Chain A
Amino acid sequence: MFDDFFIRALIAGLGIALVTGPLGCFVVWRRLSYFGDTLSHSALLGVTIAYSFEINIALSVFLISSLVALILIQLQKKTNLPGDALLGLLAHSSLAVGLVVIGFLTFIRFDIMGLLFGDILAVTTDDLLIIWTGGALILLVLKLIWKPLFASTVNYELAEAEGLNPDRAKAIFTILMAAVIAISIKMVGLLLITGMLIIPAAMARNLSDSPQKMVLFSIIGGLLSVLLGLFSSLEFNTSSGPSIIMAALVLFILSLLNIKQSIKLKN
């Protein structure tokens, strides 16, 4: 019925949505959207390195994003600059370095649009393996650090005082962010990955009154966005990333109706 590449894209997209759902909730709760942007912008450098040395793209992106996250943490400790300035500094400079390196790699043909906005044609069977095993690993680790991470998201000092080691949870979560970017870059594109993290979670916030519900709705929202987005991408021949994000946006707008209703009920 469908072409192989489309089936692969669907399987990949659904796998990504399962992971971005819960992670995205933490991105919203912990106000990390710019942090997500910074990591994903640095992914371009990761991709160019992957091409230059012929290593796996996901692995290379994961390593570079983790490195940028580490540099960020060091800069936060050693300078007096505000967090958003440091994020901007790292985001744009790593993007710039990535683009300059691409300029030097004249012997390789790059599909820049595909890198920035995702390309469903690019998803291979190997990618599916990486997405699903990597994704399962990310979810497993997230489940293990859920308690300290969530408690310190609510209140750092409570978590620390009651012996949950929030700093370790935060460091592990940073690595998970790098990992989710690494597995979703081909599909969603580096400019739009943060959208995939935030928009379904934001939609879920409008529908939920408990953290568990928000995670569940965020996953459902992500899965629906991938389905809607990919089918419309096939139908209208648009890039996969923007199509998925637009579908997520439509769902978000629909979720606003729920808020209006619950406000009406309150009054």
Chain B
Amino acid sequence: MSLENSTLVKLNNAGFKQNNKWLVEGVSLTVERGKIVTLIGPNGSGKSTTAKIALGIYKNIEGSVEKYTNKVGYVPQKISIDWTLPLRVHDFMLLTENIKDEAIDEALNLTGVIHLKNKNLGNLSGGEFQRVLIARAISKKPELLVLDEPVQGVDYTGEIALYELIKRISDTLNCGILLISHDLHTVMTATDHVVCLNGHVCCSGTPMDVAKNNEYKTLFGEQASQILSVYEHKHDHVHSDKGEIKKN
């Protein structure tokens, strides 16, 4: 515990092997209070695995994880909920912690789904469910928030609003956020630190540092690196067409 107490979770050369295949290896990163760390990288590059290592879901890892908080909110990338369970949004909000009703309402209001509070979880659309997942994670007022593609399936305007919300939460709660996203546009406005993964850490640093990195350029293409630089220049113009970059 020699680290200054702003550190929430620290990965030291961490890796995870499944069926003799490395899902990811040699990852070192630190998430601090009030900071947003974003993991980017192609499909199968180990982003979700890294998040699960940080969360302690994977047990037999290489390297080490130091976790300094137990107040964690998690939005997983994939969640399969069994519909043999009768579960309303309200019940789901109370899943891992008993939260006051006002806090539940507040969180559901923030993500714009308060009207679904008494709906059955199984009857929600993908985007609605995603908003509920985010609301659940933030309603606990966590110190560490791990968001694995939190806005998948959310409509375009909602996506921007949710990213703004995430940024705001990191400020108001002073919590650390580990964010995984494919969407370079929106994410980079808020991120303090970018880690680019491809089975290992390709490069990491501020969005600007990463954009200049050659490995990053080969991984994402020249265009993607321009996006990062754009945001470093205090977003002087807007990209309306986000679809094509997402496919990278």
The answer on a CB contact under 8 Å between A157 and B81 is no
Chain B neighbourhood of A153, CB < 8 A:
82, 85
Instruction: Tell me the complex Cα distance, A214–B88, Å.
Output: 12
The answer on a CB contact under 8 Å between B96 and A147 is yes
Instruction: Tell me the complex Cα distance, A189–B87, Å.
Output: 33
Given known pairs A157-B52, A157-B74, the reply for A164 and B96 (CB within 8 Å) is yes
**Chain B interfacial residues counted at CB < 8 A:** 27
The answer on a CB contact under 8 Å between B57 and A210 is no
Which residue from B73, B87, B120 sits with its C-beta under 8 Å from A162? B73
The answer on a CB contact under 8 Å between A211 and B87 is yes
Size range of the chain A interface in the assembly: 20 to 34
B84 at the binding interface (Cβ < 8 Å): yes
The answer on a CB contact under 8 Å between A29 and B85 is yes
B92 at the binding interface (Cβ < 8 Å): yes
8 Å CB contacts to A: which residues of B15-57? 52, 55-57
B95 at the binding interface (Cβ < 8 Å): yes
Which residue from A29, A150, A161 sits with its C-beta under 8 Å from B74? A161
Given known pairs A155-B79, A158-B76, A160-B55, the reply for A150 and B95 (CB within 8 Å) is yes
B97 at the binding interface (Cβ < 8 Å): yes
Return the CB mask of B101-140 against A: 1 if under 8 Å, else 0.
Answer: 0000000000000000000100000000000000000001
The answer on a CB contact under 8 Å between B88 and A154 is no
Given known pairs A208-B86, A211-B87, A213-B86, the reply for A158 and B95 (CB within 8 Å) is yes
Name the prevailing secondary structure of the A interface residues.
Answer: helix
The answer on a CB contact under 8 Å between A158 and B96 is yes
The answer on a CB contact under 8 Å between B74 and A154 is no
A163 at the binding interface (Cβ < 8 Å): yes
A11 at the binding interface (Cβ < 8 Å): no
Chain B neighbourhood of A208, CB < 8 A:
86
Our count of residue pairs bridging A and B at CB distance below 8 angstroms stands at: 75
Chain B neighbourhood of A159, CB < 8 A:
95-96
A209 at the binding interface (Cβ < 8 Å): yes
Instruction: Tell me the complex Cα distance, A161–B137, Å.
Output: 11
A186 at the binding interface (Cβ < 8 Å): no
Chain A neighbourhood of B80, CB < 8 A:
155
A206 to B, closest residue via Cβ: B86
B120 to A, closest residue via Cβ: A209
The answer on a CB contact under 8 Å between B57 and A157 is yes
B146 at the binding interface (Cβ < 8 Å): yes
A151 at the binding interface (Cβ < 8 Å): yes
The answer on a CB contact under 8 Å between B84 and A161 is no
Which residue from B74, B82, B86, B87 sits with its C-beta under 8 Å from A158? B74
Which residue from B72, B92, B120 sits with its C-beta under 8 Å from A161? B72
The answer on a CB contact under 8 Å between A162 and B85 is no
B70 at the binding interface (Cβ < 8 Å): yes
The answer on a CB contact under 8 Å between A210 and B91 is yes
Closest 7 CB pairs of A and B: A161-B55, A161-B74, A162-B96, A163-B70, A151-B95, A208-B86, A160-B57
Q: Can you list 6 contacts pairing A with B, beta carbon distance less than 8 Å?
A: A158-B76, A159-B96, A161-B56, A161-B146, A162-B72, A162-B97
19 further A-B contacts with Cβ under 8 Å, apart from A158-B79, A163-B96, are A31-B84, A151-B96, A153-B85, A154-B82, A155-B76, A157-B52, A161-B52, A161-B55, A161-B74, A161-B76, A164-B96, A205-B86, A208-B86, A209-B120, A210-B87, A210-B90, A211-B87, A212-B91, A213-B86
Task: Give me the interface of A with B, judged by CB distance under 8 Å.
Answer: 28-29, 31, 147, 150-151, 153-155, 157-164, 205, 208-214
